[in-house]
Amino acid sequence: MALGFFDGVHKGHQSLLKKTLEVSEEENLESSVMTFKKHPLNLIFPSYAPDLITTNDEKIKLIRSFGIQHVYLNDFNEKLMNLSSENFIRDYLLKKYNLKHLVVGFNYTFGYKGAGTVETLKKYGKKYHIGISIVPPCIIDGEPVSSTRIRELIKSGKVDKVKPLLGRYYQVKGSIVKGKGLGHQFGVPTANLHLKTKGILPSPGVYYTSVIIHNQVFDGLTNLGSNPTFRQHPYSIETYIYDFDENIYNQTMIIIFKKKIRDEIRFDSVNELMTKIKSDIEYINKIYRKS
């Protein structure tokens, strides 16, 4: 069993999953992951709880895609939070699961106030006859890969720097809702995305994206933000889809963020805004789209 929160299921997490699969094959055990529905900080320090990279559904799907047989998504509650590190191993993990081997990252902590470390875990492994594997950090560009590092890159709009760490581009999923229809009037219709689950979003601006609709992939230009050209404009995620002309209201769409083109700009008129959007569309078409 691998332990961790696994937000993003990034390259570091993937090392844990691969080690878990190795051990399960060597020792003829079933492979599993135990994680939580909500980030523990939601209970411990709610104001410090991060926006997440992956939803629970995405997290389970990604973990299983590596070949893990069982994914246990548990509640992190006060009872669990207050367990000592030994009680967490003995009374929670050992009693709940027929454990033979644990796989954790180099910086794994557990038990009340995170008092248990990998050294503590090795001690309990000997005491309770559980095999322990400690996976070293996954280093990319001189730094360990972490969910925190990935969140910072997404928040700062450096979405192109995320792929080497995640092993894929960052994406969000939602349904198409009606907007003001302004783009349509100017010949640049956009799909307005309503997110199904709150998660982390790139900084406001214009992005080169791919979108998936009905299992088909299209190039897109996505604008995130509050559109400062208009007063009190609500935050929106609007995408111009290349080579596409269908009514897709209420349909599900995935946006894959590939590269930030520019920050949000306040224009003096709607005409100026639309001229700039058309220029952005042409720029992406020329520089990024495969001919």
Distance set, CA 4 to CA 9, 72, 80, 223, 284 (Å): 10, 11, 15, 34, 39
CB 111 within 8 A of CB 87: yes
d(CA 291, CA 280): 17
Measured CA angle at 245 (ends 243, 246), to 5 deg: 135
CB 266 within 8 A of CB 204: no
* Identity of residue 168: R
Let me know how long the chain is: 291
Out of 86, 143, 238, 246, the active site residue is 238
Provide the b/e sequence for 219-250 (b: ≥16 CB within 10 Å): bbbbbbbebebeeeeeebbbbbbeebeeeeee
d(CA 92, CA 139): 32
Distance set, CA 280 to CA 132, 270, 273 (Å): 53, 15, 11
d(CA 88, CA 259): 43
30 a catalytic residue: no
d(CA 118, CA 137): 13
What is the set of active-site residues? Answer: 238
